[in-house]
Chain A
Amino acid sequence: MSKKRDAKQIEDAARRYGIDPQDFGKYIEDCKASGDRGTQNSRGDFTWAELCEKADEFKGSK
């Protein structure tokens, strides 16, 4: 999957959950760096469903 498509997914998931896309992208990067990785590929990228789950937990922590 292209980086642009991944970036669109981040923005779309963030908007659906009412959170800032840039802040959410930073949080997802932080998750990956700490070992909380997605299952989309061997790089630990996140599927759409996983991003929505992450958006929910990020929003819920505020």
Chain B
Amino acid sequence: MSTAVEHPPARGAGNTGFSALLDLVGEPFLFASTSYPDVLVLHFGERRADPPRVIKGREYRHEYGTYSLFVSASEWVVKGGDVAVTNRGHDDTPPFKELRAAAEAAVGPGSRVLAAEPFPVDRPSVIGYGLRVELSNGAAVTVVPTPDDDPHATAPDGIPFAPLADWNLRTPRIELAVYPGRVIRVTERGV
């Protein structure tokens, strides 16, 4: 990664930091994965795999799409056909991996992104940007920022944790991170 551009409170959803969302349009959905803790990752584009690694005697493989959408601790809803899948109110029953599988099926591998549009969210406890992704098979993914119930949390050594992005989009050329308060961070990635 080379440079980062901070966009302080945006003027609106047309903020240029969101131009990367256009890159996602036309890309096929590949699969969904999970990242700790209960982060939904939707992979689009072309499938890639890092070389296998052996860590503590166990083989570790990492596959991903050239475009990846990470939803960290925000609410998401996936609608496809007659099915709606959401993490709203999820309390580990069913296990998150089952939600992931249901979300993947609802989005539909092979369907292509028709639109990826941010939308402002302005509630008493949440000011930020949501995201709606529409797919060619009629499916849609909606991400809605949620309140941070522990905004001043610190590590055991007393150093405050950095703010957590509501969602991130990683593309071959940039990483777009959207934070509470409508702060947008665009980081160029080394290719």
Q: Pick the residue among A29, A49, A57 that contacts B36 (CB under 8 A).
A: A29
The CA of A27 and the CA of B38, in the complex, are separated in Å by: 13
Q: Pick the residue among A11, A32, A45, A62 that contacts B161 (CB under 8 A).
A: A11
Q: Pick the residue among A9, A23, A34 that contacts B155 (CB under 8 A).
A: A9
Instruction: Determine the residue in chain A with the shortest Cβ distance to B157.
Output: A48
Give the chain B neighbours of A29 by CB distance below 8 A.
33-36
B126 within 8 A of A: no
Complex interface bits, B21-37 against A, C-beta within 8 A gives 1, otherwise 0 = 00000000000011111
B56 touches A32 (CB 8 A): no
B131 within 8 A of A: no
- Report how many A-B pairs have Cβ atoms within 8 Å: 85
Instruction: Determine the residue in chain B with the shortest Cβ distance to A47.
Output: B156
Listed stretches B7-15, B76-84, B104-112, B162-170; interface member: B162-170
Which residues of chain A from 3 to 62 have any CB-CB distance to chain B below 8 Å in the complex?
3-12, 15, 22-23, 25-30, 32-34, 36, 43, 45-46, 48-49, 57-58, 61-62
Which residues of chain B from 132 to 164 have any CB-CB distance to chain A below 8 Å in the complex?
146, 148-150, 153, 155-156, 159, 161-162, 164
Which residues of chain B from 27 to 64 have any CB-CB distance to chain A below 8 Å in the complex?
33-39, 41, 53-56, 58, 60, 62
The CA of A12 and the CA of B154, in the complex, are separated in Å by: 10
Give the chain B neighbours of A62 by CB distance below 8 A.
53
The CA of A46 and the CA of B153, in the complex, are separated in Å by: 16
B164 touches A30 (CB 8 A): no
Q: Pick the residue among B55, B62, B149 that contacts A23 (CB under 8 A).
A: B62
Chain A positions near chain B (C-beta within 8 angstroms) = 2-12, 15, 22-23, 25-30, 32-34, 36, 43, 45-46, 48-49, 57-58, 61-62
